[in-house]
Amino acid sequence: MKQAKRINFHDIVTYIFLIVLFLVVVFPVAYAFISSFKNTSEILAGTNFIPENWLWKNYTEAWKIAQFGIYTWNSVYYSFFCVLFALISSALSGYVFSRGKFPGKNIVFGMQTGMMFIVLGTSSLYPQLQILKWLHLNTNLWGIILMQFFCGSITNIFLVRGFCDSLPKEMDEAAKIDGCSFLGTFIKVILPLLKPVMATIGILSFQGAWNDYLLPMIVTLGNPSQRTLPVGLVALKGSSDAAAAWNLILAGAMISAIPMLIVYIFCNRYFIKGLTAGAVKG
Amino acid sequence: MEKIREKYDKHVVASSYLVLAPQIIGLIVFSIYPVFWVIRYSVYHYDGITASFAGLENFIRIFTRDSGYWMSILNTFIIAYGKLIIEIPLSLMAAMLLSKKVLKCKKLFSVGFYMPNVLGIAVSAMIFTFLFSSFNGIINNFLIFAGIIKEPHNWFSDKWSAMTVICTHSIWVGFSTNMLFFMAGFQNIPDDLYEAAEIDGASKIKQFFKITIPMIAPTLRIILMLAMVNGMKMTNNVLLLTNGGPAGKTNVVMLYIYKAFFETGAKAQYGYASAMGVVTSVIVAIVTLAYLRISKKSANVY
């Protein structure tokens, strides 16, 4: 009897701790969401928690006047191509690094892994931009999309390679006997099995592209019509009449956040799976 | 020659290289070339148009005259490690509680905790600017209500309160990542250990220090490692929360270099900025190697 009571007490403390932590974590987003329906003077006064009138027009104004409609479209196609290229390049490279036998394999793989250890950070941005400038792609998003095509993330390649390594080699051999070429085996045998890994990579690169800030900001500096949502949001905050536009800023923040949150709610297991897999392997 | 032909299937070799071609080009053009570019211009005075050889002048300037650079390095370490003082116990605690077998709504909790990660830096920095804003932001209102401060505090007006905002933001975003790492680490601890300890009469606290902590030491090592590497790369959060302000006092190293490249003012100094990039990557390499060494030694203890 006593034993049961003590366990209950522990459980209650556990639940209280977790619920409080949950509320603290979720509160900033919930508060910003609620505030995005207030008018500016209400936001600046900061007195009432729930808006007096729920102003949907903050969203329509952000969409039309503050150009979040254009930003959304830019974000959509930018993310689409980044995800597409991330999927293609990581699947193919991962497969080749796992199954291909060719001279120089270890050198190429070793160089790719080795580059992870040279942390140049922001100092590599400038030379990269010089290359894009040389290709006349330094003032729009296509430059970054191109870079995405040429630079697959090594973490993603690791993920696919690890998964391919775990598949039995006999399958390849059977396919080969049936007349499949090296790449034919990939398309017909391996790729269908890669689906869970592809889902993880797709979700993670979507998250990365949708939220990407620094590079899209730099390339769209002189070209506001190319801004993606994060870039446009920060630009609005930095504009001259920012203090009067907090309602639009918050509505814009929610326009950027909500698509991501919807994907997250439905696919959260991929986010978490990719995180742990990437860290252990990478 | 004959041997090589036997070992490699020509068709496989050709298609492998065909598939990897973009990757190899990208590696050379976008990863390796910038490294050489940065190293080369680190010994030049370069304003984007004319370059003149400078020898080691840029490096001498970093080591003798540029206190802003060293402050940004220090700030990087303060933020990257200072936040761990709160973040690690918090994430360990959350992981332990979430790993309880009887717990309900596990999924809901972990999905909620991880949510700040998916928002993206622009949105989350905007939300934090809003919460901490000096015009009756909710944090100020709350602190006044609780009687901790008397009048609204401008969080971005002095160094340490601005650093507090940065750290709070990174803990808010990052603690769940570490929590998930710890939870993965817990799964590798066999239940037998706890059962045996239970039979031997070890208390829960003793079990925690004698079983849990040693068994998650590898996880802890990964977390510290990632904190350092990611900490050195930290740019966006500081750029968007304080932009290094007030007066450059909260600059972190990558932001400082970024500004040297892109917010050049009257005269661009790409050579000097490159030299800072070189010094920084050497510092990162040294710290990483030293850390790997030390942690390898401490791993032998268990």
Q: Do B126 and A234 touch (CB under 8 A)?
A: yes
Q: Choose among A149, A234, A243: nearest Cβ to B22.
A: A149
Type of residue found at B162 = A
Which of B31, B141, B184 lies closest to A151 in CB terms? B31
Say if pTM beats, i.e. exceeds, 0.80.
yes
Clarify whether residues B100 and B220 are in a common domain.
yes
Q: Which two tokens stand for residue A86?
A: 């991330």
pLDDT band at residue A228 under the 50/70/90 scheme: very high
- Cβ <8 Å between B19 and A92: yes
Looking at the fold, whether B140 and B49 belong to one and the same domain comes out as no
Let me know whether B99 and B43 are in one domain. Answer: no
- Collapsing DSSP states into helix, strand and coil, what is residue B51? strand
Same domain? For B53 and B70 the reply is no
Q: Are B93 and B224 in the same domain? A: yes
B292 has a chain A CB within 8 A of its CB: no
For A99-128, write each residue's pLDDT tens digit. Answer: 888 888 889 888 888 887 787 888 889 999
Check pLDDT > 90 for residue B103: no
Using CB atoms within 10 A of its CB, is residue B55 exposed (0-12), middle (13-18) or buried (19+)?
exposed
Q: Does B139 touch chain A (CB under 8 A)?
A: no
What is the residue type of A239?
S
Euclidean distance between CA atoms B243 and B263, whole angstroms: 12
pLDDT band at residue A282, thresholds of 50, 70 and 90? very low
Tell me the CA distances in angstroms from B192 to B82, B93, B189, B195, B220, one per residue in order: 36, 22, 9, 5, 22
Cβ under 8 Å to A: B residues 198-237: 222, 226, 229, 232-233, 235-236
Q: What is the pLDDT of residues A2-13, one digit of tens each?
A: 455 556 777 888
Q: Does B136 touch chain A (CB under 8 A)?
A: yes
Are residues B229 and B146 located together in one domain of the fold? yes
Residue A205 Cα to chain centre, angstroms: 5
Taking residues B278-287, what's their average pLDDT?
Answer: 90
| B230 and B200 co-located in one domain | yes
Taking the Cβ of residue A116 and every Cβ of chain B, the question of whether any pair is shorter than 8 Å is answered with: no
Give residue B4's pLDDT.
55
- Report the distance separating Cα A167 and Cα A197, nearest Å: 13
Domain count for chain B, please give it.
2
The chain B residue lying nearest A24, using CA atoms, is B172
Instruction: Search chain A and give the residue with CA nearest B10.
Output: A102
The CATH number for B104's domain is 1.10.3720.10
Let me know: does A160 contact A94? Beta carbons within 8 Å.
yes
User: What is the model's pLDDT at position A278?
Assistant: 53
Domain interval for residue B21: 2-58
Q: Are B16 and B42 within one domain?
A: yes
Complex ipTM over 0.85: yes
CA distance B301 to chain A (A): 22
Best to test chain B binding among A123, A157, A186, A203 (most B CBs inside 10 Å): A123
Q: Are residues B44 and B174 in the same domain?
A: no
Residues of A in contact with B15 (CB under 8 A): 100, 181-183
Burial pattern A53-82, b for ≥16 Cβ within 10 A else e, equals: eebeebbebbbeebbbebbbebbeebbebb
Q: Is the Cβ pair B127, A253 closer than 8 Å?
A: yes
Rounded to the nearest angstrom, the gap between the alpha carbon of residue A88 and the centroid of all alpha carbons in its chain is 16
Q: Do B207 and B138 lie in a common domain?
A: yes
